[in-house]
Amino acid sequence: MATIDELLRAARERLTRLSAEQVAVELAAGALVVDIRPFKQRREFGQIPGSLAIERNVLEWRLDPASESRIAAATSHEITVIVVCHEGYTSSLAAASLHDLGLRYATDLVGGVSAWKAAGLPVVEADSEE
């Protein structure tokens, strides 16, 4: 059996993780930035402007292009998806799971929203649960 640290390390080996500044550039270029934090955290710490809130428990169903529960933006396996959590741990595991679904351009934000804010980038108030 693997430990959580081993699973996290294996997940991150599959990803090209991005800094806050790189995520800002990708977002401006049309990447789908997905915030998987619970509403309570998004409300308390803010949300990246232009990001889409999809909580972790439904992430794969919303982003799998073959799923009947997918969001409109989940049009193909070729979309760029950047997963964001609070500190960049859960997002790595989630992005690796999206790789398993064939979303080969899925990755995450190193340091999460905490790193985004530390870089002086803006956040907005979360206005809905999903």
Residue 128 lies in a domain: no
What CATH number does residue 45 fall under?
3.40.250.10
The parent domain of residue 106 ranges over: 4-118
Where residue 127 falls among pLDDT bands split at 50, 70, 90?
A: confident
Q: Does the structure show a pLDDT above 70 at 128?
A: no
DSSP the chain: ---HHHHHHHHHHT---B-HHHHHHHHHTT-EEEE-S-HHHHHHH-B-TT-EE--GGGHHHHH-TT-TT--TT---TTS-EEEE-SSSSHHHHHHHHHHHTT-TTEEEBTTHHHHHHHTT---B------
pTM of the model: 0.95
Express each pLDDT in 76-118 by its tens digit: 999 999 999 999 999 999 999 999 999 999 999 999 999 999 9
For the chain, how many structural domains are there in total?
A: 1
pLDDT at 82 (0 to 100): 98
Residue 127 lies in a domain: no
